Structure 1
Amino acid sequence: MEYIMNKTLLAFSLLVSFGSSAADFQGRDATFLENAAQHMISVKNYDSGENAASTFPHAYKFTHSYRISHGLLGSGQDVLSPEVLKSDKQLDFSKIMITDIDGQMDLNTFLRDRLKNHSMVVVNGDRLLHEHYWNNMDEHSTHLMMSVTKSFTSMMAAIAVSEGKLDMSKPVIHYLPELKGTAWETASVQEVADMRTSVIQKVSKHKSWDDRMTLSQSYNGDTAGDYPRGVTDYFPLVTKVETKMGKKYTYQCVNTEVLGKVVEAATGKRLADLIEDNIWKKVGLENDAFLMSDHVGGAVASGGLNAATKDMARIGKVLMNDGKNYLGEQVIPSDFISGLLQGDDNVRSAWKLSKEASLADGWYKDQFRLLNVGGYSILAMVGIHGQVVAMDKASGTVIAMNGGYPMTETPRMAISLFHKVIPAILDAVEH
């Protein structure tokens, strides 16, 4: 009983520390967990490749989370109605051909059977060119976005910069002095955002995180006894770097968790509230989203967003519209988007030293990738099981998709998505 009371007090103190909240904090869905158990799925194994198809549309129910409102029902605030996309479904995926190891097949077959795709929406300007929802999903279903979440954490940092609350050139410890003595003591906020810290962690094959980090986040169980303050208890365990700070791009989820805490410290607001106020209530989205968290309310800044596929396409459309929503209102700073598209010498040179450089020319900046493939420059938000928002500025095309590819961070998945599927769709849009 004392343990439960202490845990509750910790959660309450975190919520109060950021003032009145907008996004509702909630615990695991006990009824859903009971049903999942009948199918041999639990908190410990829901995110495995075997269970991805069943669990990714419902992932937030396995953890603590925030409900992020799109603001239409009972908000008492002036918010946007959903943007209505003009139906112009000219893309026939049954006629777009993809080559795989055994020859050609249509894009629908390749997506469904080879990439384990669950949904896709293709938008060009305000035209809806294609949408499909498989795996018992529909246009209102949320889906775990995995590391697409990272880009949203970075967008909140960019908005804080535009408001004069955050300086990306300052040391991380300016905002988080408790990280003195850790690997981030000499890192700037920008180096963290660009994944140019190369901190040393205990990382297993096909992972970009230390299992102790996800344990601290209660991602696969309740470990409040070992990590009473959630993910912040993990940071002091990381004390060394592989190479000179800022030199090499190394994709590591923990950097985004640090960035999320920096944003919260700089703004005095919870990450979930920032995403709700700055994106979900300003873009013109149709569905609520969910942001997974640890047991004390620490948002999973690197991979916890659960959102509807069409809403993700709408957000991609804002990025391709220089940060403006469909009413012409500035939502995301335009100079931030320009920086993503243009890159800089630091991120270009850092990319060349990374393992991803062999797959594509490009860079990683502010939690986004810019990939030059198939004759296109694709700005991308990417998740490890086939969650992608791919944007082509030249044509104004956005491809939002979700999937449950059974393995993470494999070259085959990356090649299939970025060298085959996305260029094929963009070719079809052009012709």
Structure 2
Amino acid sequence: MTSYRNSDPRPPIMHGSPPSMVPPRIDWDRPPWNRWSFQYIREILPTVEVWKGSGHASRLPRAERDLDMLAVRTVSGASSTLADLLDETFTDGFLVMKDGAVVYERYFNGMTPRTLHLSQSTAKSVTSCVAGVLVGRGLLDPSRQVTDYLPELADTAWKGATLQQVLDMTTGVRFSEEYTDPYSEIGQTDVASGWKPIPPGADADFHWPSHMWEFILRLKALDRPHGEAFEYRSIETDVLAFAMERVTGKRLAELVSEELWQKLGCEESGCFTVDPAGYALADGGFNATLRDYGRFGQMVLDKGAGIVPSQWIETSRNGIHGPQFSTHMPEASYRNQFWIEDPRTRNLQCRGVFGQLIHVNFDARLVTVKLSSWPDFTSPELSAATLSAVHAIAEALS
């Protein structure tokens, strides 16, 4: 079995006592297991809480519209409905907010309003917003070199790189994001972060990193001069997070709690996966509920809402655009750990593998959140169909 849609019969993954189908430790994030595991990270990996605080959750007004039958395009380009597309694209949760009010909210695949869902690289944008707070307080300066904050990196490929280049993923550090190669740098990140064990049958002479900081210190090769080009590399977010921890003396989960989750008035505490040294994985280990991701997106739409400096959000909407950034968004750009859809709308996106998306449409005053468990890490076809549906929703609600 590769995977199953919400309209298909659900296999009994982790059903029964003892369960009859248990995700293998090496493949918990691969299909079909990810259809279960993305909602149950705390049963698979060690995590640290991102406390929501003791205050009441912020109110989410409701102005509901039934968009199930909204006309959209399928992955193949045929005419269909939003409900069918959500099934076709392995959706777990889908939320649309207009002017801060919930317009459309749907849950699938056993997910509920209280379920925490893995964000994958959406976590990068969450980390970025806390970095923006620290920049606003003068604790971080994007123009300074990374080694000003982490002097140990003088012996790595980050020597000479600025914090802004880390934020924009334009350092020249050699890092392969080849997800299916266990020996690639992202494959080694799986082991260093505690997400995966050393692969069965691995080369006995290969030295696997024991935690993320050790792994970062081992990256000494350059592919190009710093600042020359964008290349998507998850490790940049972790370097940023270590700098944030160094200047504050606090761990990342505590920073996200204090600077975002409590101030947003989130309904549920979130969590990060942690490595064997207790480091919360900034590049993809964050978990939260659908509505709380919506609250985060609304804060971005409201240009920081007094929580994150408005200048940070504005700066994040300005990048160098071109076809080298995204396969399904030919005019996209990347800035401050956010995706910019195009140079006209400057809409922001938080994106993660296997179909995670927070889309912020500033002109339409719309936030769309999609949590998914695709059978593939990336899919230009599923991404394009989803983005087309997001545009159709914006048009219908304008």
Q: Same fold (TM over 0.5)?
A: yes
Match of 2:30 in 1: 48
Query: What CA distance in whole angstroms lies between the structure 2 residues aligned with 1:210 and 1:119?
Result: 27
Match of 1:64 among 43, 46, 55: 46
Find out whether 1:411 has 2:380 as its counterpart: yes
How far apart, CA to CA, are the structure 1 residues paired with 2:74 and 2:25?
38
Paired with 2:17 and 2:176, the residues of 1 have a C-alpha distance of: 34
Corresponding residue of 1:242: 223
Q: Which amino acid aligns with 1:90?
A: R
Query: Hey, which of these two has a bigger chunk of helix by percent?
Result: 1
Q: 2:116 aligns with which of 142, 146, 168?
A: 142
Shift of 1:255: 0.7
How far apart are the structure 1 equivalents of 2:85 and 2:36? 20
1:304 paired with 2:285, answer yes
Amino acid at match of 1:139: P
**Correspondence for 1:129 among 87, 103, 111:** 103
Matching residue of 2:57: 82
Does structure 1 retain, via aligned residues, the 8 Å contact 2:326–2:332? Answer: no
Partner of 1:282: 263
Q: Find the counterpart in structure 2 of residue 163 from structure 1.
A: 137
1:95 equivalent in structure 2: 70
Structure 2 residue runs without a partner (length 5+): 1-13, 200-206
**Is contact 1:120-1:309 (8 Å) kept?**
yes
Structure 2 equivalent of residue 21 of structure 1:
none
More displaced stretch, 248-257 vs 315-324: 315-324
Q: Comparing 302-311 with 89-98, which one deviates more in the overlay? A: 89-98
- The C-alpha deviation readout for 1:295-335, integer Å capped at 9, x for no partner, is 221110100011001111111111111211xxxxx111111
Alpha-carbon spacing, 1:359–1:209, altered in 2? closer, same or farther (3 Å): farther
Query: For residues 100 and 428 of structure 1, what CA distance do their matches in structure 2 show?
Result: 20
User: Is residue 2:365 matched to residue 1:396?
Assistant: yes
Structure 1 residues 364 and 33: alpha-carbon distance in aligned structure 2, compared to 1, 3 A threshold: farther
Aligned-residue sequence identity (percent) comes to 23
Shift of 1:254: 0.7
Q: How far 1:70 sits from its partner (Å)? A: 1.1
Q: Given the superposition, is the C-alpha separation of residues 244 and 124 from structure 1 closer, same or farther in structure 2, using an over 3 Å criterion?
A: same
Distance in structure 2 (CA, Å) of the matches to 1:259 and 1:392? 26
- Are residues 1:105 and 2:105 paired? no
| Cα separation, 2, equivalents of 1:33 and 1:62 | 15
Verify the 8 A CA contact 1:68 1:288 in the aligned structure 2. Answer: yes
Instruction: Report SS of the residue matched to 2:370.
Output: strand
Q: Contact (CA 8 Å) 1:248, 1:354: kept in 2 or not?
A: no
SS in 2 for 1:199: coil
Task: For residue 417 of structure 1, report the CA deviation from its aligned partner.
Answer: 2.1
User: 1:271 and 2:252 equivalent?
Assistant: yes
Corresponding residue number in structure 2 for 1:255: 236
- Aligned partner of 1:333 in structure 2 is 309
| 1:256-277 CA-partner distances (Å, limit 9, x unpaired) | 1111111111111111000000
Is 1:361–2:331 an aligned residue pair?
A: yes
The verdict on how the C-alpha distance between 1:366 and 1:102 changes in structure 2, with shifts beyond 3 A counting, is closer
Q: CA deviation at 1:95?
A: 3.0
Cα deviations by residue, 1:235-257 (Å, 9 ceiling, x for unpaired): 13221222221121111101111
Residue 111 of structure 1 aligns to which amino acid in structure 2? L
Deviation at 1:355, TM superposition (A): 4.8
Task: Give 1:51 deviation, angstroms.
Answer: 1.0
- Which consecutive residues of structure 1, in runs of 5 or more, have no partner in the other structure? 1-31, 73-78, 325-329
Partner residue of 1:173 out of 141, 147, 171: 147
* Per-residue deviation, residues 206-245 of structure 1 (Å, max 9, x unmatched): 689521122111111389x9544x1011113221222221
Is the Cα–Cα contact under 8 Å of residues 68 and 83 in structure 2 kept in the other structure? yes
Moved more, 314-323 or 86-95: 86-95
- Give the drift of 1:381: 0.5
Q: Distance in 2 between matches of 1:213 and 1:421?
A: 33
Alpha-carbon distance, 1:356 to partner:
1.5
In the alignment, residue 362 of structure 1 is paired with which amino acid? A
Distance change >3 Å, CA 83–CA 227, structure 1 → 2: same
Find the residue that maps to 2:359 and give its secondary structure. strand
Q: Secondary structure at the match of 1:119?
A: strand
SS at match of 1:180: helix
Partner of 1:197: 171
**Distance in 2 between residues matched to 1:37 and 1:403, nearest whole Å:** 23
Displacement of 1:162:
1.1
- Tell me if the contact between 1:200 and 1:241 (Cα under 8 Å) persists in the aligned partners: yes
**Is 1:370 matched with 2:340?**
yes
Question: Residue 422 in 1 paired to residue 390 in 2?
Answer: yes
* 3-state secondary structure, aligned to 1:168: coil
Kept in 1, the 8 Å contact 2:323–2:332? The answer is no
Aligned-partner residue type, residue 94 of structure 1: M
Partner of 1:218: 194
Decide whether aligned partners of structure 1 residues 255 and 131 sit closer, same or farther in structure 2, where only a CA change above 3 A counts. same
* CA displacement 1:40-80 (0-9 Å, x = unmatched): 313321111321111101123322211112113xxxxxx3x
Contact 1:60 1:144 in 2 (8 A): no
CA 90–196 in structure 1, closer or farther in 2 if over 3 Å, else same? same
What is the rounded CA distance, in whole Å, between the counterparts of 1:34 and 1:293 in structure 2?
Answer: 28
The change in CA–CA distance for 1:203 and 1:310 in structure 2 (over 3 A counts) is closer
**Does the C-alpha gap of structure 1 residues 304 and 107 become closer, same or farther in structure 2, counting only changes over 3 Å?**
same
